Amino acid sequence: MINEEDLSIYFEDEKDDPEAIERPAVVTIMGHVDHGKTTLLDSIRHTKVTAGEAGGITQHIGAYQIENDGKKITFLDTPGHAAFTTMRARGAQVTDITILVVAADDGVMPQTIEAINHAKEAEVPIIVAVNKIDKPTSNPDRVMQELTEYGLIPEDWGGETIFVPLSALSGDGIDDLLEMIGLVAEVQELKANPKNRAVGTVIEAELDKSRGPSASLLVQNGTLNVGDAIVVGNTYGRIRAMVNDLGQRIKTAGPSTPVEITGINDVPQAGDRFVVFSDEKQARRIGESRHEASIVQQRQESKNVSLDNLFEQMKQGEMKDLNVIIKGDVQGSVEALAASLMKIDVEGVNVRIIHTAVGAINESDVTLANASNGIIIGFNVRPDSGGKTCCRS
Domain 24-189 annotated CATH 3.30.360.10: no
Which of 207-216, 228-237, 335-344, 380-389 is the most confident on average? Answer: 228-237
Q: What is the pLDDT of residue 173?
A: 95
pLDDT at position 300 is: 56
- The whole-number average pLDDT for the span 97-118 is 90
Find the mean pLDDT for residues 60-67: 86
Mean pLDDT of 43-69: 69
Contacts of 66 (CB under 8 A, 6+ apart): 44, 45, 48, 49, 72, 73, 75, 178
Note the Cα 307 to chain centre separation in Å: 28
pTM of the model: 0.76
- For β-strands 21-22 and 63-68, DSSP reports them as unpaired
Q: Same CATH fold, 316-392 and 199-299?
A: no
Domain 199-299 has CATH 1.10.3470.10: no
Is the pLDDT confidence value at 355 over 70?
yes
pLDDT at position 15 is: 65
CATH class of the region 316-392:
alpha beta
Counting residues of the chain whose pLDDT is more than 70, the rounded percentage is: 84
303 or 121, which is more confident: 121
Rounded (5°) CA angle 289-293-296: 145
In sequence order, which residues have a C-beta less than 8 Å from that of residue 234 and are 6 or more positions away? 266, 268, 272, 287, 290, 291, 294
Contacts of 52 (CB under 8 A, 6+ apart): none
The DSSP output letter for 223 is B
> What are the boundaries of each domain within the chain?
24-189, 199-299, 316-392
Residue 305 pLDDT grade (very low, low, confident, very high; cuts 50, 70, 90)? low
